[in-house]
Amino acid sequence: MVAIIRRLGRAPYLSTWEAMRNFTLARTPETPDELWLLEHFPVFTLGQAGKPEHLLRDIGIPVIRTDRGGQITYHGPGQVVVYLLLDLHRAKLKVREMVTGIEQAVIDLLAARGLTANRRPGAPGVYLGADGEGAKIAALGLRVKNSCAYHGVSLNVDMDLSPFAAINPCGYPRLPVTQTRDHGIPWTPEEAMEALCQALISRVVNPLGNP
């Protein structure tokens, strides 16, 4: 079953999250999977078990506690987001496999543009360097209900990174954060969004190339 791709432009976080939850609760075994491609207006999001103390200071950006995994992160214009609304049971996909696939899709995408990155044990996301010990460039968080996943992955492309200084990104004090623009990849957010979408389809959504 081919996934439906929805390009949502720049969207508020709260209404998008509510739409994801509603979609997931209403879906049936016949509901096609969907990928939502978008950017968000500036917002800090705190995961289900997130600790408020990881917000270091108030800089006037709203904070929303959400139901994904993980700690606190920042979303804003110039960061591309792909939400993967997938039926894991139908895909015969475990959550850990999905996380690994998302990370590998980003790693492969960056490698094709000459940028080496890797995962870091115990810290979901993608980090620069062959050992994954460099700055974080992509974050991910998921929620699963009734064997169906929602939320997804964000990739920093061409954005104002300064709000990350007001938090411990993903719960890690002084974790450096970077973006593709600062490493010579001349993507626009729209170009990065489409490339990331295709990488996720190939690695996670339809790895066998089924029609």
Tokens representing 195 are 């490339």
Select which of 170, 193, 196, 201 is catalytic: 170
Residue with tokens 């509603």: 22
Residues 6+ apart with CB under 8 A from 137: 106, 110, 117, 126, 127, 128, 155, 156, 177, 178, 179, 180
Residue with tokens 């954005």: 159
Tokens representing 152 are 């997804």
What residues pair up with 155 in beta bridges, in sequence order?
80, 138
Is 148 designated active site?
A: no
The residues assigned a catalytic role are: 170
